Amino acid sequence: MAYNFLIVDDSAIIRAVVAKTLHMTGFEIGLVLQAANGKEALDMLEKNWVDIVLADINMPIMTGIELVEHMANSALIKSIPVVIISTERSETRISELKSKGVRAYLNKPFTPENIKKVLEEIFNGPKV
C-alpha cells in the first residue's frame, strides 16, 4: 500500500530533504505534497487524501501549532497523524504538541532511520 505524505515547512530545501529521505525509508510512497505553511497545508488537505503530515513548528502565516489545532477541530482531517520535525527542543513545547494530538516529534537534523522508525510506529503500531 502506497502512503501519501504532506510535508509542511517554510524552507523548500528542508521539504526536498524530507521528501528524499522518505524514499530512503523503504515505505511505498504515493503522493508527496508540499506546503510552505499551515494555511497552504490546510488548503491541500481539503483537496487531497493524505495519510500523514510531517510539519515544522515555526513558519510564517500559520505555524505548525496552529495547523495542528485547526486539524483537531475538523472532523474530516483530525484523524490524520501529524509528526513534527523541528529544531525546537523545548520539552514543554513537545508536551504541548503531543497533548494536541501530535503523534511524534523528530529533531532536525534527522536521519532516514529516525523517520522510518516513526513511520513504522504510526503505520504498523509499536514493536512489541
User: What pLDDT score does 126 carry?
Assistant: 57
d(CA 77, CA 13): 27
Q: Is the pLDDT of residue 12 over 50?
A: yes
**How does pLDDT run across 84-96, given as a tens digit for each residue?**
999 888 888 888 8
Q: Indicate the domain borders of the chain.
A: 3-123
CATH 3.40.50.261 describes domain 3-123? no
Residue type (1 letter), 39: K
Contacts of 9 by beta carbon, 8 Å cutoff, 6+ apart:
15, 18, 36, 55, 56, 59, 85
Which is it for strands 29-35 and 82-86: parallel, antiparallel or unpaired?
unpaired
Helix (H, G, I), strand (E, B) or coil at 87: coil
Q: What is the pTM of this model?
A: 0.92
Please name every residue paired with 35 in a beta bridge, in sequence order, or none if there are none: 8
At how many degrees (to 10) do helices 38-47 and 64-72 cross?
40
pLDDT value of residue 94: 85
